[in-house]
Amino acid sequence: MHDDKDSHETLRVLVIEDSAGIAATIQVSLRLAGMEVEIASTGEAAIALHDSLNPDIVLVDLGLPDMDGLELVARFANIGGSGIIVITANGEEATRVQGLETGADDYVVKPLAMRELVARVRAVRRRVGQTEQAQDAAPVAEGLVIDHARRLLRGESEAPTLLTEAEYLALVHLLEAAGASVSRDELSVVALRRNLHSDDRSVDQLVLKLRRKLTEQGASPRSILSVRGQGYLIADASVFQAAEI
């Protein structure tokens, strides 16, 4: 079992969406996943609910009737304490980047895939819950050092190893699981941004490449273990530290 908040407590999610049908679908899906969900259809209602609910995750539709959704993203990011996921009908890169630069932790594009949304909500909660600890950690003389800003991995090799975005996302997600196994389906959604098909071996190939890069920096070839019928896990997360290289 994951040693994080959503393993022990019910996640509180605030959904800010003016489409009643979409909001209801999200609410049902997240409640089936064991989360507490409240809905606001306007920015004004969202602000009031946010203050009373103190949510772990906020889902913000950018196309609200009474205010720009980015205003809410900025407001909630300044308050802190909540992971923020932007919901947008616009899949263009500029829109996604604007949301992330304003303070969002992730984004999803309509039409929404509910299975992916649930995985993203859980992933963002883990990242937000451990960000401060990761940023404050200092490098150690032994072990592996991760530069999160530049996706670099340093260990025994003279030169750091650059991780691809997918490799970096997979590694961070495995570390955030705190020694618990992460399913191949979840890794596919988080790292590859897509659902995994039955005959798709892309996650296995991704983990294989990540293992090789970890081994280049002195990690054991068994640093990422395969758990039959469950997925993958980091064998010893204690050797990883976060720092700027």
Distance, in Å, from the CA atom of 122 to the CA atom of 48, rounded to the nearest integer, reads 24
Band of pLDDT at residue 243, cut at 50, 70 and 90: low
In the chain, domain spans: 5-130, 137-242
User: Domain spanning 137-242 has what CATH number?
Assistant: 1.10.10.10
Whether the Cβ atoms of residue 156 and residue 217 lie closer than 8 Å to each other? yes
Report the candidate in 72, 39, 62, 42 with the shortest Cα–Cα distance to residue 109: 62
Tell me which range, 24-33, 129-138, 161-170, 204-213, is most confidently predicted by mean pLDDT.
24-33
Q: How far is CA 76 from CA 9, 42, 58, 87, 130, in A?
A: 22, 15, 8, 15, 18
Condensed to tens digits (0 to 9), the pLDDT of residues 47-92 reads 999 988 889 999 999 989 999 999 999 889 878 778 899 998 876 7
Q: What is the pLDDT of residue 148?
A: 81
Domain 5-130 has CATH 3.40.50.2300: yes
Distance, in Å, from the CA atom of 17 to the CA atom of 201, rounded to the nearest integer, reads 35
Report the candidate in 64, 75, 66, 70 with the shortest Cα–Cα distance to residue 22: 64
Helices (H), the chain: 5-8, 20-32, 43-53, 69-79, 93-102, 114-136, 165-176, 184-187, 202-216
3-state secondary structure of 63: strand
Q: Per the structure block, which two tokens stand in for 217?
A: 């920096």
What mean pLDDT do residues 87-99 have?
80
Q: What is the pLDDT of residue 15?
A: 97
Q: What is the pLDDT of residue 30?
A: 95
Band of pLDDT at residue 95, cut at 50, 70 and 90: confident
